[in-house]
Copies of this chain bind each other. A is one copy, B any other.
Amino acid sequence: MNPELLISNRIRSTPFTSHVEACGVKAYTVYNHMLLPAFFRGIEEDYWHLCEAVQVWDVSCQRQVEIIGPDADKLVQLMTPRDISAAQIGQCLYAPLCDENGLMINDPILIKIKQDKWWFSIADTDVLLWAKGLATGFGFDVQVYEPDIWPLAVQGPKAEELVVRVFGEEISDIGFFRGEWNNFEGASMFVARSGWSKQGGFEIYVNDARLGRKLWDELFARGEDLNVGVGCPNLIERIESGLLSFGADATYKTTPFECGLDQYVSLDADIESLSINALRKHVPKTRLVGLVIARKVDLAGREVLAGKKMIGEITSHTWSPRYSVYLAYARCDLKEIAGLDELEVNTGTGSDNGQITELPFDFASLGLSGK
C-alpha cells in the first residue's frame, strides 16, 4: 500500500473537493499548496476515458497571480523573455519566467485580461512572491495578489460539445489560446480554449465557489450522453503529448533552451526583460530528450547511461498503453549525447536501451501506430 496524503489546512482544499471526493478520488498530489487529484479509477483507465469522451477537472491549483496597475506591462515583460508587446486582450501566452541568469522560475500561461491587467496561470512555484519582490524593489505602481479564482478544465474530444451546451454556441468561436467572458447563472467567467492535455477543451476561470459547484453539476447533467466523467491532468496523456511539468522536466536550474522552449524566447525583440541578455549569450549545457524503450520496464533509478557513464537523468516517465512502449523524458549532457541513438536506463535486474528522440514524441516517424 502506498503512503496516504495527510491532509491539513496548510494544503488548501478547493470549492470542488467535496465533489472530487464523492467521485472517489484515489490519489492526490499537492500543487501550489493545494489539492490536485492525481487519478480516480486508475491512471490508465482515466487515460482512455480522457482520450475518448470528456472529463471535468478540478485544476483550482492553477492559481492566478494578478498584476494590475500602470506599471503592469513593464513588470510582466521584465519577468519573461517572451515579447508580450503585441498581446491582445483575451489572449493566452505560454511563457517561461526567467531570472537574470536566464534560469527558469515557472512556465505559466499569461493572460492579458485588459489594459494594465494580467493573470499568470501558474505552475507549482510561488510566482506571487517573485512578482511582489520585484514590484517592491523596483518601486512599480502595481498591485500583485492572488484572486479567488479556481479553474475548472473540461478536456477531451467531446469537451467542445459539452461546453457549448452549458455556455452557448458562441463558445465555438473562441480560438486556440484565446478566452472570452461568458455568462453562467448571471456571473461572468473567463472561458479559454486551453488546458493541460492535447485532447482539446476549455478552462473556465471560476470566480464564485457556489456557482462553480453548480457549474460542475450542470456539466455532469448535460453531458451524460457524452459519457462525461471526472478526471484530472493525466500522466500518460501529458507525456505522450510532450507537455512539461515544472519542478520535474524544467527547474530553477534550467534555461528555456534546455527545455526545448526556444520558440517562447524573443531573442530578437527589443524588450526590457531581466533574462534576455543572459539568454542571448547562453550556451545550453543540457537538453531534454525523449527516450522510447521497447518494453514495460520498472525503472530502478533516474540515471541515464551511455556505455557505463552517467550522462543524464530521467525527469518523467510512463508506460504508454496506446503505443505499447515505455516513454521517458531525460535531461542529458548536450555534449555527451551528440551522435548517439540510444541510451541505457537501470531496471534493477539490469539495464534496457532507450531510443533517443525529439520532444514531443513523433510516434509516426518512430514507426509506432497507436491503438
A contacts, CB < 8 Å to B: 1-12, 25-30, 33, 38-39, 99-100, 105, 124-127, 129-139, 146, 235, 245-248, 252, 274, 302, 314-316
Q: List 16 A-B contacts (CB under 8 A).
A: A3-B25, A3-B27, A5-B28, A5-B29, A6-B28, A8-B245, A8-B316, A10-B247, A33-B124, A105-B129, A125-B126, A126-B126, A127-B129, A129-B133, A134-B136, A137-B137
Minimum C-beta distance from A227 to chain B (A): 24
A124 adjacent to B10 (CB under 8 Å): yes
CA distance A89 to B276 in the complex (A): 39
B131 adjacent to A245 (CB under 8 Å): no
B residues less than 8 Å from A28 (CB atoms): 3-6
B residues less than 8 Å from A6 (CB atoms): 27-29, 38-39
CA distance A3 to B124 in the complex (A): 21
CA distance A134 to B138 in the complex (A): 8
B8 adjacent to A29 (CB under 8 Å): yes
Minimum C-beta distance from A113 to chain B (A): 22
Contacts A4-B4, A4-B26, A105-B129 given; 18 further ones with Cβ under 8 A? A5-B27, A6-B28, A6-B29, A8-B316, A9-B248, A11-B29, A11-B30, A11-B247, A12-B247, A29-B30, A33-B125, A129-B130, A130-B133, A133-B133, A133-B135, A133-B137, A134-B134, A137-B137
B residues less than 8 Å from A245 (CB atoms): 8-10
A-B interface, 10 closest residue pairs, ranked by CB to CB distance from nearest: A137-B137, A133-B133, A6-B38, A10-B247, A126-B126, A129-B130, A30-B30, A9-B248, A5-B5, A133-B134
A99 adjacent to B27 (CB under 8 Å): no
Partner of A5, one of B2, B124, B130, B134: B2
A135 adjacent to B137 (CB under 8 Å): yes
Minimum C-beta distance from A80 to chain B (A): 14
B248 adjacent to A8 (CB under 8 Å): yes
Minimum C-beta distance from A283 to chain B (A): 21
CA distance A146 to B99 in the complex (A): 15
Q: With a 10 A CB-CB cut-off, give which of A1, A2, A274, A302 has the most chain B CB atoms.
A: A2
B residues less than 8 Å from A4 (CB atoms): 1-5, 26-28
Minimum C-beta distance from A288 to chain B (A): 13
Minimum C-beta distance from A253 to chain B (A): 10
B residues less than 8 Å from A235 (CB atoms): 8
Minimum C-beta distance from A98 to chain B (A): 11
CA distance A354 to B318 in the complex (A): 50
CA distance A137 to B246 in the complex (A): 24
Closest to A140 in B: B137
B residues less than 8 Å from A124 (CB atoms): 10, 33
CA distance A105 to B25 in the complex (A): 32
CA distance A25 to B4 in the complex (A): 9
CA distance A11 to B137 in the complex (A): 30
Minimum C-beta distance from A359 to chain B (A): 16
